[in-house]
Structure 1
Amino acid sequence: MDITRRRLLSALSAAGLLAVIPALPVSAAEAAADSARLLANTVGIFAGTTESNARPETAAKLTAIDRTARTNLKSMDDAGEGELFAGLVLGTDDANLNTAFKRLYEIALATRTPGTPSDLYGDTAVQRRVIDGLGWLHERYYGDQSKGYYGNWFNWEIGISQHVSKTLALLVDEVRTYKPGLITTYVASMDAYLRNGTDGDVNLDSRFHTGANLADITTNRILQGALIGAGGEARIRKALTDQLTVFVTIDPYRLNHGVTDGYYADGSFIQHASVAYTGSYGKGLLTRVVQTLKILDGTGFAHGEELVPTVQRWVRDGFAPLIFEGWMMEIVKGRAVSRPDGGYVDVAVVVEAVVDLSSLSTGADATALKSYVKHIRSTSRAALDPTGFVSPVSIVRYADIIGDASVPPADLNPASRSVAFNAMDKNVHRRPGYAFALARSSDRISKYEYMSGENLMPWFQGDGAYYLYLSGQDQTQAYGVDYFTTVSPYGLAGVTAPVELRRTVPELYGKPYYDNPGHPLNFTSSSESQNKYVYFPRGTNQHSGGAVLGAYGAVGAVQSSDAAFHDRELLPDDFVVHRNATATKSWFLLDEEIVVLAAGVGDGAGRAVTTTVDARTAAPDDQVSVTGELRDGRPWTGAGTGDLRWLRYANATRRTSVGYVFLDTPKVRVALDKVTRSRRVVRTANPDTAVTRTVLGVTVDGAAGARPVSLAYALVPNAGEAGLRSYRGGQPLKVLANTVRLQAVSHAGLGLTAANSFTAGHHEAAGMRIEGPASVLVRRERRGPTTVAVSDPTMDRDRVGVLLRGRSLRVVTADEGVRVSRVHGGTRIDVDTHHAYGRSFTVTLRG
């Protein structure tokens, strides 16, 4: 069962987490046995076992371990005066110091990995060389804490400790023989570097000790507890108590230690207080907690029965919607969108965790997880390479799942699914043949994440940017780092942006952050002001969210400037702020179409504005074409600006297409260009690799000083020309309203009416009256029931009222918090949205 907030907090307020963590061993012998088992499990995870490594599936992994270790040893052989590894300069660069510790771990790993050549496996001389390296680094660059802790806090509190703890776990027997004091020396130093903690331990009130970071820190401390021997069980127990807090579903109205990082009831995951991060930190947390469960297996600290169901829910509700044919969607990757490793590599990390989770699960749960692994493998357009798995044992488990004919491939998602991740301002809409992902922002959720020279041009990624993934396509040719490299940051699909040239943070300030420690806001590399105004600024709009009715969705958002522009009078004179364009937008998520409405599209500063209907990329040799029809019925081909009724983009090489139906839109500009840029334009650490893509841009332009305009169009995935011609005369789609107060559409074929209201007062649309800001979907089935879904996109209302005009209807089923009453002229629905955090409420009615 899941750990409930009430249960966990009550345990925390008692004498430790006795209800979740079994009692401490009653004897020193049992404590020693548990520590020995814990360390043996750790070695088994990272080095594999004799049985696992004898399997042919692990051969490539063993070769990679061996090759890396020999490369590192050669670098040690070639090191000059004052170097541990040749060319790796230490003393001022924390990343280099972290790399040095990582290389020592990689050598140690080869000496403990069964199946590697005998001149490494079990070689005491090599192990002692690693131990000497640890001593050398401690003596010169790590042991003096007054000289350490420069650069990135993560390396000092997490990264280095992770490499050291695992290295000591691998070599524990030899360390105790050769340099018995090294363990206690390093543990004391690792405690001293935990500066965002309290007295060398975790501080649950620290913004640095949350979510994935907390899982990393506590896993390190679990290993350290096993290493130090007598008394270590108390350290393990405390680390587990701290780590268990990451399993608690975040309740935004009753925060524990003020922490907003973690998993939410709707499947959202947040890190850095306000960044949607399932695809980066979220997968890191998933990996770490599953590893911890494996590390503790068979010890007195094992607690898998309590926690495994919670992790299963993370996979089902948090990860599965965001993985399309083996690709992790861009909307939840933060600054990682600028890294060369693409969505397929991200998903391989998740697959390893799911493989291991299935081994900790039983019955139908285990089968569902195994089937999902098979589903990802069978649908991914890139071969999943298990050589990249951390554990050889996981490689074997993966092979066994793939080879098990009794396990059918099966997605954890239904074929049609619409998910509102309102807690992190994101939406995913899935149908056979495509998936649509939408990135929103608000005063709760960041517009983007920039940090450390990564994601250099992120400015509009949370302003309604969307990604339309087409089935059967290699997504590295459509999205990933090359999409952000070759598509203009002002012309991302779905974005309304002012026409202006912005400069990156390094261009503005000459370094990867804004530095002004003397200002009252104290701008340093990791300060809260840096986070708020530079790294991941939030928007200033409250309205961002929507409702889901079955597999359909209605989403609305009011575009805003960010926190820096809002607080510009408080900021230093040389701090550069940006004013955003204005727009009120809705996205109605149907079967064959995604309908987009935008009103109030303009700019309060009088600048020209562009709205990008879509931006698609293709390999330069792909056969792509654009065809269309003008409103007067004449055919349209080529590029330029036209009064279009519809447009079709086709990639014959990939056998994909997208249609665009312009329901009520000004003239559209279409461009199809070859673009070549270096990947370094989006991330300073990227190789200076030039990439070329054919880029489609479908854009609506607004002149400087022009009055705000409205737009209404539909994206039609996998569309043919005949199908696009059928959208005439308001059938099957009809725009009912498109203003800054109300946006609504109907779809005759689905019997669906969907509306977003944005302002106070009453809003009328198609026999429906909505009171105040809300998202509402109504589906009337012929000779069947009427179903209604309602949500509060502001997350601030106590009640939302909707009146359905016509004959009175009676309740068939209703969610808790929904009250239905028959009134003169129709049926009134009142929904208690107090503390619902954007959740949808559904009611089914009949005449």
Structure 2
Amino acid sequence: MTHPLSRRSALLGTAAVAGLALWDGPAEAVGAAAFDAARERWVGLLAGGSYNAAYAEKTQAVEGSANAVLRKLKPAPGRPSLWPDLPLEDPRTGNFNRAYNRMRTLALGWATPGTAMHRDMRVAETAVSALDFLYEHAYHESLDRHGSNWFWWEIGVPRSLTDTCALLYDGLPKDRLERWLRPLRRWCPDPERRVSHPGVVETGANRASKAMAVAMRGLLTHDAQLIKRAKDAVSDLLRPTAGPGDGFYHDGSFIQHDIYPYTGSYGVEYLASVAKLIAMLTRSPWEITEIGNVYDIVDRSFAPFIFDGLMMDCVRGRQVSRQGHRDYHSGQEAVEAILTLLGAAPEPYAQRWRPMVKGWLARNQAIPYNTVAPLGSIAGARALLEDPSVPVGPRTTGTYVFADMDRVVHRRPTWAYAIAMSSERIGAAEAMNQENLRGWYTGDGMTYLYTGDLTHWNDDLWPTIDPYRLPGTTVDRRGRADLPHGKRRRPPTPWAGGVALDGEYGVAAMKLIADGSSLRAKKAWFLLDDAVIALGTGIAASDGRRIETIVENRNTHDTHPPLSRGDGWVHLSGVAGYALLDGADAQVIRKKRTGRWHDIDKGATTRGDKTPVTKHYTTILIDHGVDPRKARYAYAVLPDASAEQTAAYRGRVEILANSGAVQAISRDNMLAAVFWRAGTVETADGPLAADGPCTLLIRRDSKEVRLAVSDPSRTTGEVRLAVSDPSRTADEVKITLPWPVTSVEKSDRGVRKAESAVKVAVGGSRGHAHTAVVRA
């Protein structure tokens, strides 16, 4: 028996493209119509509800992919396989997971209006036979995993299979549908439980993805209890965590796998799954109502990391090594989720998001959005772009310190700069499933400069960049083996974090304890309105190898752009200027580099191909020599600066200290410092001192001084101040300003006047900032 496509179904599918189709029946009456309406909303978001010539490019891409799947389909029961390149006998290959992904591709072609195979019953019959084959040979309730990846069994296949069944629903025999979904009773019965590893409670993206699969199974089989189970599991996820471990934190951090920053990968999956569930179940008997935190998450966790539709690689973890998943893919998934949420978002959020998303889409015309995003998302994006009442929003600006995941992002109107650190709390780099094999230094202070070149990070950078020379890092040039599966390196130091002042200035700092090397260093970054000042001190090693600090390593695609040099400065046309501030000289290396995606990702289902790709690189580095004892560096990165501005920059900032106790700078009315321990630094107005570890920003103007502790980016004047303790070792820090403090006018809890100084109770604040306005 098949499920005929009703006129109401078609209309609901059309409306769902905009995420507006609503179940308008009484909530207490859970009849078949409620299940069908929710399912059809989901199909509409995936495949669109009606053909539109404006989406012909996308429709052709969907049809081409589906036809390729259909054309190559050659069932071989004796092997067994559905496609010759995906033998199914050994589940450890992951081929069964890839086979279900192909079935989803075929189903999408069948369900998408405008394709030649749209609702072709011959194609549906072929799909039914293929799904029967997979149930018998690859995925049923009596099989054993044989040590294969649990994710494929409990999330990968359930998500692909439920999507496939939803897309093909009107062409499927009901008894077959129940048969194919039966394995999910064993492998994905509960969003909160991991079947393959009893005792593991699912968190973050894994729980959200499982909730989506469980909810879809409930809709397909008309089982209200499954949908309620999924809803309850997601509702529990929406509350911020205080850590440690997985989830979203109050400061916007997102952690997955206990210790890794993953906003741009697992975090996006989480947001997408929750947004889909909200849209799918809206106005249904299972509507998710406790969703306020989801809207805050968009502003707090995602907007700072999206640059013109690109998701910053510093929060994508091992995903950066996947050839088929670039920064624009993650960015698009985040955009899709936000567009989906817009339909239900309260107006204050929607008023912010519409211009913001429109700005991302309008500025990034190079990204092939129409060929990658689902039709429902394309419809929402196009409607937004064509809406004259919505302005094109500017780029997000501000300084964001994510103390709970050792990340700092500094954003100006035309550029952005991100810093990836690690500590005893946050892992340096994750390698799993033979992915991210050469990500050795991505968490050792790597810096990410974003400019108007929106292809820099996604144009085959990761297989071609020298992995020993990542920008911002100080490295031992020893040979390295590929990272092993599951290695979890957390440097044995608490020191990583920073502070921001007025959302405009910042300080970041980390203590470097190198992996497998005696190399040690103290690294600090001072984030200004037009520059980033990088200081390093205490650089020492004793292994008989050369030590380098990488100022820049820029992918310039298929050419070497003009480069200018002078006494202590380098200017790379179209990128930035680089000024050496301590009289040192820099080496500049320009060369073509060739690599293969397969070299950095050999994963069973993600592996890159072996085709060589070549890119041009300009590398700027400081050579500290072999076995330095107390080496230092000081340089400025000047995005968008001209060669003339770069040459003249050295006098624009004063380095007050670059020692093992204090690193500090001053410029105009601002002081910024990293106190690694108790210390004092002389300023033009007198000594600045702290009696314990902290990062500090002070901004002084004619009227007031603001103070912030536990956040490394505060300034002085009459006087604003911000303080944090990234080491999380102090209980209280006393800050003595160059001017006697007469009163504390405004402050966070824990800031008080102490004689002519200020004391800040940083204990228990987990590296977050304390701010104050004081009179001095």
* Pairing of 1:421-436 with structure 2 (within 5 A): 421-436=402-417
Q: Residues 596-647 of structure 1: CA distance to partner in whole angstroms, max 9, x if unpaired?
A: 1111112144533111122222123343223111xxxxxxxxxxxxxxxx21
State the Cα distance separating 1:794 from its structure 2 match.
1.6
Residues 337, 481 of structure 1: 8 Å contact kept: no
Distance 1:487 1:70 in 2: 36
Partner of 2:264: 279
Partner of 1:845: 774
Distance 2:309 2:143 in 1: 46
State the Cα distance separating 1:771 from its structure 2 match.
1.7
State the Cα distance separating 1:84 from its structure 2 match.
2.0
- SS of equivalent to 1:463: coil
Equivalent of residue 373 in structure 1, options 342, 345, 357: 357
Partner of 2:19: none
Residue 554 in 1 paired to residue 507 in 2?
yes
- SS of equivalent to 2:440: coil
Distance 1:617 1:101 in 2: 37
Equivalent of residue 429 in structure 2, options 448, 458, 465: 448
Residues 335, 450 of structure 1: 8 Å contact kept: yes
Q: Residues 408-434 of structure 1: CA distance to partner in whole angstroms, max 9, x if unpaired?
A: 0114724xx111111111111111222
Partner amino acid, structure 1, of 2:473: V
Distance 1:65 1:725 in 2: 52
User: Alpha carbons of 1:428 and 1:581: their partners in 2 closer, same or farther (altered >3 Å)?
Assistant: same
Q: Residues 83-115 of structure 1: CA distance to partner in whole angstroms, max 9, x if unpaired?
A: 323432111144211122222233333333333
Q: Residues 491-536 of structure 1: CA distance to partner in whole angstroms, max 9, x if unpaired?
A: 111111112111214xxxxxx63xxxxxxxxxxxxxxxx3xxx2x4
Residue 122 in 1 paired to residue 119 in 2?
yes
State the Cα distance separating 1:332 from its structure 2 match.
0.8
Moved more, 89-98 or 79-88: 79-88
Q: Residues 220-244 of structure 1: CA distance to partner in whole angstroms, max 9, x if unpaired?
A: 0011122333xx2222112211122
Distance 1:834 1:150 in 2: 45
Equivalent of residue 58 in structure 2, options 54, 58, 61: 61
State the Cα distance separating 1:682 from its structure 2 match.
2.5
Partner of 1:545: 497
Distance 2:111 2:524 in 1: 57
* Pairing of 1:3-42 with structure 2 (within 5 A): 30-42=30-42
Q: Residues 432-481 of structure 1: CA distance to partner in whole angstroms, max 9, x if unpaired?
A: 222111110001111112222222211111111112222x22x32x3336
Residues 670, 697 of structure 2: 8 Å contact kept: yes
Partner of 1:619: 557
Distance 1:130 1:150 in 2: 29
Residues 141, 187 of structure 2: 8 Å contact kept: no
Distance 1:287 1:617 in 2: 31
Partner of 2:81: 83
Equivalent of residue 732 in structure 1, options 652, 663, 680: 652
Residues 188, 210 of structure 2: 8 Å contact kept: no
Partner of 2:746: 813
State the Cα distance separating 1:395 from its structure 2 match.
1.9
* Pairing of 1:378-457 with structure 2 (within 5 A): 378-380=362-364, 382-390=366-374, 392-411=375-394, 413-414=396-397, 417-457=398-438
Distance 2:657 2:522 in 1: 12
Distance 1:485 1:72 in 2: 28
Partner of 2:587: 669
Distance 2:427 2:613 in 1: 29
Residue 222 in 1 paired to residue 215 in 2?
yes
User: Alpha carbons of 1:836 and 1:202: their partners in 2 closer, same or farther (altered >3 Å)?
Assistant: farther
User: Alpha carbons of 1:105 and 1:741: their partners in 2 closer, same or farther (altered >3 Å)?
Assistant: same
Distance 1:668 1:124 in 2: 67
Distance 1:720 1:169 in 2: 56
Partner of 2:12: none
Moved more, 132-141 or 785-794: 132-141
Distance 1:272 1:25 in 2: 41
Distance 2:198 2:699 in 1: 46
Distance 1:250 1:142 in 2: 36
Residues 348, 386 of structure 1: 8 Å contact kept: no
Partner amino acid, structure 2, of 1:303: I
Q: State the identity as a percent.
A: 30
- SS of equivalent to 1:491: coil
Partner of 2:546: 608
Residue 298 in 1 paired to residue 292 in 2?
no
Residues 763, 772 of structure 1: 8 Å contact kept: no
Residues 141, 148 of structure 1: 8 Å contact kept: no
Distance 1:413 1:810 in 2: 35
State the Cα distance separating 1:193 from its structure 2 match.
2.4
State the Cα distance separating 1:184 from its structure 2 match.
4.1
Moved more, 802-811 or 787-796: 802-811
Moved more, 421-430 or 65-74: 65-74
Q: How many pairs align? A: 729
Residues 665, 710 of structure 1: 8 Å contact kept: no
CA-atom RMSD in angstroms: 2.7
Q: Residues 123-150 of structure 1: CA distance to partner in whole angstroms, max 9, x if unpaired?
A: 3343233223222222222225343354
* Pairing of 1:458-537 with structure 2 (within 5 A): 458-470=439-451, 472-473=452-453, 475-476=454-455, 478-480=456-458, 482-505=460-483, 513=485, 530=486, 534=487, 536-537=488-489
Residue 628 in 1 paired to residue 566 in 2?
yes
* Pairing of 1:733-748 with structure 2 (within 5 A): 733-747=653-667
Residues 698, 721 of structure 2: 8 Å contact kept: yes
Distance 2:130 2:513 in 1: 53
- SS of equivalent to 1:557: strand
Residues 196, 206 of structure 1: 8 Å contact kept: no
Residues 344, 382 of structure 1: 8 Å contact kept: no
State the Cα distance separating 1:757 from its structure 2 match.
1.2
State the Cα distance separating 1:584 from its structure 2 match.
0.6
Partner amino acid, structure 1, of 2:523: K
Residue 800 in 1 paired to residue 741 in 2?
no
Q: Residues 749-776 of structure 1: CA distance to partner in whole angstroms, max 9, x if unpaired?
A: 2x111111113x4444532221211011
* Pairing of 1:223-372 with structure 2 (within 5 A): 223-229=216-222, 232-252=223-243, 260-304=245-289, 306-307=290-291, 309-340=292-323, 341-372=325-356
* Pairing of 1:689-700 with structure 2 (within 5 A): 689-700=611-622
Distance 2:132 2:744 in 1: 73
* Pairing of 1:198-213 with structure 2 (within 5 A): 206=200, 209-213=202-206
Partner amino acid, structure 2, of 1:548: A
Partner amino acid, structure 1, of 2:278: L
Q: Residues 31-60 of structure 1: CA distance to partner in whole angstroms, max 9, x if unpaired?
A: 5443232222222222321xxx23323323
Residues 73, 83 of structure 2: 8 Å contact kept: yes
Partner of 2:104: 105
Moved more, 122-131 or 766-775: 122-131
Gaps of 5+ in 1: 1-21, 506-511, 514-529, 563-577, 630-645
Compute the TM-score of the two structures, normalised by the length of structure 2: 0.88
Distance 1:26 1:293 in 2: 15
Partner of 2:532: 594
- SS of equivalent to 2:663: strand
User: Alpha carbons of 1:676 and 1:67: their partners in 2 closer, same or farther (altered >3 Å)?
Assistant: closer
Partner amino acid, structure 2, of 1:715: V
Moved more, 77-86 or 668-677: 77-86
- SS of equivalent to 2:513: coil
Residues 571, 643 of structure 2: 8 Å contact kept: no
Distance 1:121 1:356 in 2: 25
Distance 1:721 1:133 in 2: 62
Distance 1:786 1:455 in 2: 46
Partner of 1:679: 597
- SS of equivalent to 1:660: strand
Residue 771 in 1 paired to residue 681 in 2?
no
Distance 1:695 1:200 in 2: 45
Partner of 2:183: 189
Compute the TM-score of the two structures, normalised by the length of structure 1: 0.81
